[in-house]
Amino acid sequence: MGVSGTGKTTLSVRLGAELGCPVLEGDAFHSAASVAKMRAGHPLTDADRWPWLDRLGRAIGEASSTRGIAVAACSALKRAYRERLAAASAVPMYFVLLDTAREEIARRMASRDGHYMPPSLLDSQLATLERPMPDERALTLDAARTPESLCAEVRAWLDLVPASR
Ligand SMILES: Nc1ncnc2c1ncn2[C@@H]1O[C@H](COP(=O)(O)OP(=O)(O)OP(=O)(O)O)[C@@H](O)[C@H]1O
Ligand SMILES: O=C(O)[C@H](O)[C@@H](O)[C@H](O)[C@H](O)CO
């Protein structure tokens, strides 16, 4: 989880490869209308996001049944979005927030080609972000670290989280 451009896709692909499990890309579950809206520079609303979170959550639940675990990249900006995603999946869900300085995120967004998300939406993403509370199953990491070290820390954390929690 985290705002656009923090490295969710990069980390999830790496983690999925290391764990040998399915990887789901949240961006692929948006409706065409939502993608067009973001491309045009308009932030999504809650109403835009609920059906997307339900679709992605169900897919996470299905994907995790094959290998016992699945990894997903999803902004999941608000607590209510994380709760919706977990409820739709019907499996235990653990969140990793990638968080770092605005300047670094803006630099990453500006430097990538062909992505529908315009850098102008970064401030709305940051304003919407509700960082996980202590009672959520969540780990916060500095997104400025290397993908290798982020991946290693997530794996160490997952091993320490009891499966029944
Ligand atoms: N740990 C990292 N260190 C340096 N650059 C990174 C790191 N992770 C990702 N990047 C680069 O930052 C850019 C954004 O990464 P990525 O697409 O993984 O982010 P994202 O959070 O999935 O974005 P979005 O939600 O907008 O799809 C890419 O150009 C990627 O190569
Ligand atoms: O909830 C949202 O506003 C969206 O998921 C956005 O965060 C983007 O789709 C994603 O980050 C790709 O840039």
Which pLDDT score is estimated for 165? 46
Name the closest-CA residue to atom 15, ligand 1: 7
Which pLDDT score is estimated for 164? 52
Distance (Å) from CA 160 to ligand 1 centroid: 26
Which pLDDT score is estimated for 71? 98
* CB of 27 sitting under 6 A from ligand 2: yes
Query: What ranges in 27-160 are assigned the alpha helix state H?
Result: 32-39, 46-67, 79-89, 102-111, 122-128, 147-160
Distance (Å) from CA 157 to ligand 1 centroid: 21
List the beta bridge partners of residue 99: 142
Place of tokens 């401030």: 123
Q: CA of 128: how far to CAs of 76, 97, 164, in Å?
A: 10, 14, 30
pTM here is 0.95
Atom of ligand 1 nearest to the CA of 13: 18
Name the closest-CA residue to atom 2, ligand 2: 75
Atom of ligand 2 nearest to the CA of 76: 1
Q: Which amino acid is at 142?
A: D
Q: Which of 152, 160, 156, 140 is nearest to 95 (CA)?
A: 140
Q: Which residues of the chain have pLDDT under 50?
A: 165
ipTM for the complex shown: 0.96
Atom of ligand 2 nearest to the CA of 115: 13
Ligand 1 pocket by Cβ (under 6 Å): 2, 4-10, 27, 73, 75, 108, 111-112, 117, 146-147
Q: Which run of H or E residues covers position 23?
A: strand 23-25
Distance (Å) from CA 41 to ligand 2 centroid: 12
CA 42 centroid distance within chain? 20
